């Protein structure tokens, strides 16, 4: 007679090192035309827009007016040309629709590089408005500025640039929306009194102004409770077509991931993972990894001056595993805060680094049929 059971129940506790390593920003991203690292490794984002301004003499007055202007002692007063509207779309609508919280960019700048072949002064007004769905549009509020002009006949054209920043405009407020797109428009004005007395040969129809924009956004920022949420299909759910005897999440009574990290970024990260029933619009169970990474301290310039050390235990309990098949989706929610809860400007450099160790502790709850 066989007195031994045909089944075995095993519930061992297992612990092992899973991952040990380090990563820097330069390991994760590659610099290019848009994302650059400057000579000090400060991270910057660059956007360019060509031909934002393209004005000819015809945009101010027609050929008949030019002919009439020659020798005219009174001129035609102030003449205004309209800069054709342009839109710069950053194509980040989908990302911004998933983000909440306060975001501030401290020192963005815009340079307008231009060439001018007019032998007289032109005053320009460049307008820009940042647009984001669900937010109040933010205007640039840049005052009118004068362009450099040529000195004929020795200097047939001139190149120069105008800088727009948070000192002479509301540029930091505009970029801190942050915008999905920026709508540009404007005008240029000249006073014909400025050209009275010039030689006829300099009043040609070939004069013009060409301008392009370069937008530079250094990663000099503040983040206060920035949350990014993403919903995905429940990849942990049992496959209905799988073998009944196959291994499943319910075979665990505990799965714990312990993460020890030294964070050299002045950014802190928290994470939650929620099992979600979309039919009943109900969160069934949540795993919370609050303060997964604490932000590093900074010096007076906003650069990280050391590292912060954290140890986090992410625990998937038996209740969590038993709830997996009740959910059809999983919601991941990441929360970011810069040092001192976003109250100070922090700078992001490409050589910041995170060192981490990960230990996995698991307790399977297995019933093995020996038959």
- 3 state DSSP class of 65: helix
Q: What is the DSSP letter of 94?
A: H
Asked, for residue 211, whether it belongs to a domain, the answer is: yes
Domain encompassing residue 254: 7-29+222-369
User: Same structural domain for residues 66 and 202?
Assistant: yes
User: Same structural domain for residues 75 and 164?
Assistant: yes
User: Same structural domain for residues 145 and 280?
Assistant: no
User: Same structural domain for residues 210 and 259?
Assistant: no
User: Same structural domain for residues 13 and 61?
Assistant: no
Q: How many domains does the chain have?
A: 2
pLDDT digits (tens, 9 = 90+) for 211-227: 999 999 999 999 999 99
Which residues of the chain have a pLDDT value below 50?
1, 71, 73, 199-201
CA–CA distance, 44 with 37 (Å, rounded to integer)? 6
CA–CA distance, 111 with 43 (Å, rounded to integer)? 18
Q: What is the pLDDT of residue 341?
A: 92
User: Same structural domain for residues 16 and 148?
Assistant: no
User: Same structural domain for residues 144 and 248?
Assistant: no
User: Same structural domain for residues 213 and 254?
Assistant: no
Q: Which run of H or of E encompasses 46?
A: strand 43-56
User: Within 10 A of 184 (CB to CB), how many other CB atoms are there?
Assistant: 19
Phi, psi (5° rounding) for residue 197? 95, -10
Alpha-carbon dihedral of residues 70, 73, 78, 81, nearest 10 degrees? 0
CATH, residue 48? 2.60.120
User: Same structural domain for residues 323 and 208?
Assistant: no
- 3 state DSSP class of 146: strand
User: Same structural domain for residues 198 and 291?
Assistant: no
pLDDT digits (tens, 9 = 90+) for 181-208: 999 999 999 866 655 555 444 555 567 8
Asked, for residue 122, whether it belongs to a domain, the answer is: yes
Give residues with Cβ within 8 angstroms of 330, minimum separation 6.
231, 232, 233, 234, 235, 236, 273, 274, 275, 276
């Amino acid at each position: 007679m066989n007195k031994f059971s045909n089944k075995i129940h095993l519930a061992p506790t297992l612990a092992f090192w899973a991952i040990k390593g380090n990563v820097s920003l330069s390991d994760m991203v590659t610099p290019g035309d848009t994302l650059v690292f400057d000579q000090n490794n400060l991270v910057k984002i660059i956007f360019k827009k060509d031909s934002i301004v393209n004005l000819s003499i015809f945009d101010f007055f027609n050929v008949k007016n030019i002919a009439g202007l020659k020798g005219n002692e009174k001129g035609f007063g102030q003449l205004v040309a309209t800069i054709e509207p342009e839109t710069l779309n950053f194509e980040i609508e989908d990302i911004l629709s998933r983000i909440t919280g306060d975001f501030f960019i401290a020192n963005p700048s815009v340079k307008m590089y231009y060439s001018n072949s007019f032998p007289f002064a032109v005053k320009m007004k460049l307008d820009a408005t940042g647009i984001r769905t669900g937010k109040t549009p933010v205007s640039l509020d840049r005052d009118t500025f004068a362009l450099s002009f040529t000195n004929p006949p020795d200097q047939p054209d001139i190149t120069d640039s105008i800088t727009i920043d948070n000192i002479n405009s509301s540029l930091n407020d505009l970029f801190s929306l942050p915008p999905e797109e920026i709508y540009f428009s404007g005008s240029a004005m000249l006073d014909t009194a400025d050209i009275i007395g010039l030689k006829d040969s300099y009043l040609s129809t070939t004069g013009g102004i060409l301008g392009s924009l370069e937008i530079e956004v250094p990663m000099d920022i503040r983040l206060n409770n920035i949350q990014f949420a993403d919903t995905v299909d429940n990849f942990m759910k049992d496959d209905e077509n799988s073998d009944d005897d196959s291994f499943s999440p319910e075979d665990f009574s505990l799965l714990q991931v312990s993460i020890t990290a030294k964070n050299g970024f002045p950014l802190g990260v928290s994470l939650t993972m929620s099992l979600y029933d979309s039919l009943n619009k109900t969160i069934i169970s949540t795993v919370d990894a609050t303060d997964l990474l604490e932000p590093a301290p900074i010096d007076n310039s906003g650069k990280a001056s050391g590292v912060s050390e954290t140890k986090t235990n992410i625990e998937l309990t038996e209740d969590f595993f038993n709830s997996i098949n009740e959910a059809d989706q999983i919601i991941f929610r990441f929360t970011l805060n810069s040092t001192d809860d976003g109250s100070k400007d922090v700078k992001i450099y490409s050589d910041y680094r995170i060192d981490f160790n990960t230990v996995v502790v698991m307790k399977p709850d297995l019933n093995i049929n020996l038959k």
